[in-house]
């Protein structure tokens, strides 16, 4: 995409959505190491120009990357143990893993097992690192000082409190009384240093992966959530920027009104931004967040863009999102501040949900491409007509589905009551409409939708890896409005066959989307 806010060269492209946790490997969860580099190579060979990921932050409640423990930190569980071995911080025989299940992330067992190995690697660094390595770590500390100290202390304290949220800690720590913080930093110095080491390693491994992908013509697209988890380093460290009471409890929380996924809306529960407080210092916090993400990614999907124009405010303590109200967001003032501080913004606006003319006016004012979800084009979604390819505009990212959708094959086989509010009559009409519109016979519907988005005028056509593989509901990544069982799917190394890559390349070439160079935003 290109726009007044973008540095990305305008051309037709295709890409794949896959979070690193879904990569194959023996250590219970995908990581940023050899399998990630092989996946980037697969994309390059398949003519795909974009690899989109979910937020890379350490996951909190429900293992969700959208309920992260920090807006800035990388998830240590995504660190490659193989790469740590290659650098000498772990021994190869230490990587003998317990028998993790195939096909899904085992958060419960992989987390503690990897944490012990990362602690061991940090201890070895502290004991053995040379002058050059210590200088590089010191430079990282200095460059990331705006967030790193608070995040490392928070993560160390969270471990000491056995995972309890910061608002359940002793009041002096929860309130960040200077004396309590000073004592904690002294008592947890080694643990804090280990957290800093992990973040440095994460940055090194991510940048190595990014360089590898770029060498093959593959750009990396990140995902910046609008909201932060209540139990996060930044809400703990900067409570004045959020709508909290004097005890740190949310006064109001985030969500969305009733929608396709839930008749009672989605109650996310995140504390809302105090936009007046953030405007008072020129949106410094958002400038820090955006600068950080633009250092990691070539492009960034801005999650829940709708909330910047107006957001759904739900009273704290509500059990559903039905009783919320719309409240005016920061609007153009935020994006003007970001542009002035950072220059062109290569953003994609996730403009889904209850979209008003005001939301679209804000998006167009700053030239951010929007999104269209082809799966939503044939049913009762209020935006259904805009999701049909004949209504697409060029400055658009068209998806077969997203991480919140069922897979295409799962959607096609679904029945009433399965992760949406559709009735059997709705489903029958939706299928008939899709078959007629797509001139399809009901077979290989994932590739039928993939062909439709790639044939469209949208400059970027995206598909989750599950759709490229033609998988069913068993491979679904997330079911909105559910608290458990999500974010677990993993592909197998054998899935990425030369035949699949060749088929994807032929389709991308057919519609003028294959390959190309990556432009830098730095």
Asked about 203 being catalytic, the answer comes back as no
Q: Which residue of the set 298, 404, 406, 430 is catalytic?
A: 404
- Which DSSP symbol is given to 493? G
Task: Write b or e for each residue in 203-224: b if 16 or more Cβ atoms lie within 10 A of its Cβ, otherwise e.
Answer: bbbbebbbebbbebbbbbbbbb
Helix, strand, coil % in the chain, rounded to nearest 5: 45, 10, 40
Task: Write b or e for each residue in 349-387: b if 16 or more Cβ atoms lie within 10 A of its Cβ, otherwise e.
Answer: bbbbbebeeebbebbeebbbbbbbbbbbbbbebebbebb
Helix (H/G/I), strand (E/B), else coil: 387: helix
Asked about 303 being catalytic, the answer comes back as yes
Can you say whether the dihedral through the CA atoms of 306, 309, 312, 315 is positive or negative?
positive
**CA-based nearest residue to 455, from 513, 375, 396:** 513
Asked about 322 being catalytic, the answer comes back as no
User: Is the CB of residue 217 less than 8 Å from the CB of residue 224?
Assistant: no
Cα–Cα distance, 454 to 505 (Å, whole number): 12
Phi (first) and psi of residue 459, to 5 degrees: -70, -30
**CA-based nearest residue to 71, from 277, 222, 280:** 222
Cα–Cα distance, 12 to 486 (Å, whole number): 32
Q: Which residue of the set 82, 350, 395, 459 is catalytic?
A: 350
Cα–Cα distance, 104 to 457 (Å, whole number): 36
Cα–Cα distance, 306 to 84 (Å, whole number): 41
Q: Which two tokens stand for residue 95?
A: 């990587």
**CA-based nearest residue to 96, from 75, 82, 107:** 82
User: Is the CB of residue 285 less than 8 Å from the CB of residue 146?
Assistant: no
How many beta carbons lie within 10 A of that of residue 99, not counting itself?
Answer: 9
**CA-based nearest residue to 2, from 380, 401, 367, 499:** 367
Cα–Cα distance, 76 to 208 (Å, whole number): 16
Can you say whether the dihedral through the CA atoms of 350, 356, 360, 362 is positive or negative?
negative
Angle formed at CA 488 by CA 259 and CA 300, multiple of 5 degrees = 65
**CA-based nearest residue to 256, from 481, 499, 516:** 481
Put the strands of the sheet holding 325-328 in their side by side order: 266-271, 252-256, 310-315, 325-328
Q: Which residue of the set 234, 293, 303, 395 is catalytic?
A: 303
Neighbour-count burial of 87, counting CB atoms closer than 10 A to its CB (0-12 exposed, 13-18 middle, 19+ buried): middle
Q: Would you name the residues annotated as active-site residues?
A: 303, 350, 404
């Amino acid at each position: 995409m290109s726009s007044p806010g973008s540095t990305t060269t305008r051309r037709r492209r295709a890409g794949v959505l896959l979070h690193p946790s879904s990569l194959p490997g023996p250590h219970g969860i995908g990581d940023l190491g050899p399998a990630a580099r092989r996946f980037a190579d697969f994309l390059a060979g398949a003519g795909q120009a974009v690899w989109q990921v979910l937020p890379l932050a350490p996951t909190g409640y429900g293992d969700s990357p959208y309920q992260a423990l920090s807006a800035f930190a990388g998830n240590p569980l995504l660190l490659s143990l193989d790469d740590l071995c290659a650098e000498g911080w772990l021994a190869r025989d230490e990587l003998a893993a317990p028998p993790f299940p195939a096909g899904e992330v085992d958060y419960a067992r992989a987390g503690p097992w990897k944490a012990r190995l990362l602690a061991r690697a940090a201890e070895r660094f502290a004991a053995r690192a040379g002058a050059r390595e210590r200088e590089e770590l010191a430079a990282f500390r200095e460059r990331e000082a705006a967030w790193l100290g608070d995040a490392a202390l928070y993560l160390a304290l969270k471990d000491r409190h056995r995972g309890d949220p910061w608002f359940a800690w002793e009041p002096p720590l929860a309130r960040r009384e200077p004396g309590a913080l000073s004592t904690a930093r002294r008592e947890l110095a080694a643990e804090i240093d280990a957290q800093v080491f992990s973040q440095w390693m994460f940055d090194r491994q991510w940048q190595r992966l990014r360089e590898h992908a770029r060498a093959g013509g593959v750009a990396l697209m990140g995902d910046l959530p609008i909201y932060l988890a209540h139990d996060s380093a930044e809400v703990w460290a900067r409570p004045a920027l959020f709508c909290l009471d004097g005890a740190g409890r949310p006064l109001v929380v985030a969500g969305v009104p009733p929608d396709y996924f839930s008749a009672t809306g989605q109650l996310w529960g995140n504390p809302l931004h105090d936009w007046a407080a953030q405007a008072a210092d020129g949106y410094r916090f958002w400038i820090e967040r955006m600068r950080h993400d633009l250092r990691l990614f070539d492009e960034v999907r801005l999650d829940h863009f709708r909330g910047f124009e107006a957001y759904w405010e739900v009273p704290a303590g509500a059990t559903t999102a039905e009783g919320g109200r719309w409240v005016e967001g920061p609007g153009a003032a935020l994006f003007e501040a970001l542009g002035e501080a950072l220059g062109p913004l290569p953003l994609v606006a996730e403009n889904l949900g209850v979209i008003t003319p005001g939301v679209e006016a804000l998006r167009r004012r700053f030239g951010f491409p929007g999104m269209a979800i082809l799966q939503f084009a044939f049913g009762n979604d209020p935006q259904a007509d805009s999701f049909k390819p004949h209504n697409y505009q060029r400055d658009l990212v068209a998806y077969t589905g997203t991480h919140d959708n069922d897979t295409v094959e799962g959607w096609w086989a679904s029945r009433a009551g399965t992760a949406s509010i559709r009735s059997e009559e709705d489903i029958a009409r939706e299928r008939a409409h899709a078959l007629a519109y797509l001139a399809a016979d009901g077979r290989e519907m994932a590739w039928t939708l993939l062909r439709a988005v790639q044939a469209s005028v949208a400059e970027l056509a995206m598909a989750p890896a599950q759709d490229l593989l033609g998988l069913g509901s068993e491979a679904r990544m997330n079911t909105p409005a559910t608290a458990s069982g999500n974010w677990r799917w993993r592909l197998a190394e054998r899935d990425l066959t030369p035949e699949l890559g060749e088929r994807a390349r032929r389709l991308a070439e057919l519609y003028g989307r294959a390959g190309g160079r990556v432009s830098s935003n730095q």
